[in-house]
Amino acid sequence: MQLAYGFPFHTAPPHLEFCSGEALATLARRAEDRGFDAAFLTEHPAPSQAWREAGGHDALDPFVGLGLVAGVTSRLRLLTYLTVVPYRNPFLLAKAVATLDRLSGGRVELGMGAGYMKGEFAALGVDFAERNALFDEALEVMVGAFTGEPLAYEGRRVRARGNAVQPTPVQQPHPPFWFGGNSRRTLRRVVDHAGGWMPLPNARESARHLHSPPLESLDDLAGLLGELRRLAEEAGSPPPPVMYCLPRQPNLGPPLTELVGALADLGVTWVSVNGEGTTMAEALDFLDRSAEALRRTAA
């Protein structure tokens, strides 16, 4: 079982103590020292004020933040959990990914999602109704761009006439792709692109609003895993890796360790934990305790 640590950005506005290069570097080094395999940042470039006030959160730009993390670590994988692909032009996204992968020596794990916040789509000038079509187009463009060869492409957003992205990523043909979401379309993308799956916990009462099937229990997860493995078997592919985001666990008690054990039994290969704390001292303490608890359970 591999472990990913999420930097503690869960509030709106964010705790300013964490919004410095020194703070991010300190947390990144500690995560690497404590045996985490990856560290991640999420993406919300322009969330609505209503969502922020209803319990949402602000975020650093993931590629800028992870670039700093790359510079102060040597082993830690750099995970976007997750970047909303339709928000970004695919050539610009490919350039950011390739640059980060090149400068980090090949440590990017590219977590991607189609997005769910209509207000943020509107603020960024992207048609929410086209998000899945734009996502699939972006994947095609990025896969082509990562070769470094001139690309010709005609799509909804992209009209390329022999355009190229250099330098290419260190990891070829591209950094590992991870797809976040619970829909059959997401599972299909995982298989079609030989990627990993990031199931997203989702209450039944929120499923319709978030445009994603519910995922409240291990039974829900087992059902979706069964569907994913069936699709992989039909395609003649091995079972994809799976990264499960643990519920926020400030106390790190026995329920957490029991859950990790149950996830391992289901075939989950990664677990991620959201960092906690409102001060650096609290954040570092939680990081230390979570590393100890998770490593003991996942060993």
pLDDT score recorded for residue 214: 84
Distance separating alpha carbons of residues 190 and 197, to the nearest angstrom = 6
Q: For the chain, 299 residues long, give each residue's pLDDT as a single digit of tens.
A: 999 999 999 999 999 999 999 999 999 999 999 999 999 999 999 999 999 999 999 999 999 999 999 999 999 999 999 999 999 999 999 999 999 999 999 999 999 999 999 999 999 999 999 999 999 999 999 999 999 999 999 999 999 999 999 999 999 999 999 999 999 999 999 999 999 999 998 878 776 666 678 898 999 999 999 999 999 999 999 999 999 999 887 777 778 878 999 999 999 999 999 999 999 999 999 999 999 988 877 66
- As to burial, measured by CB atoms within 10 angstroms (0-12 exposed, 13-18 middle, 19+ buried), residue 214 is middle
pLDDT score recorded for residue 67: 98
Q: Are strands 77-84 and 108-113 parallel, antiparallel or unpaired?
A: parallel
Distance separating alpha carbons of residues 74 and 202, to the nearest angstrom = 34
Closest CA to 140 of 100, 105, 192: 192
pTM summary value: 0.96
pLDDT score recorded for residue 203: 79
- Domain residues for the domain of 111 are 2-298
**Count of residues in the chain:** 299
pLDDT score recorded for residue 143: 98
Number of structural domains found in the chain: 1
Supply the CATH number for residue 77's domain: 3.20.20.30
Q: Is 169 left (phi over 0), alpha (psi -120 to 50) or beta?
A: beta
pLDDT score recorded for residue 211: 66
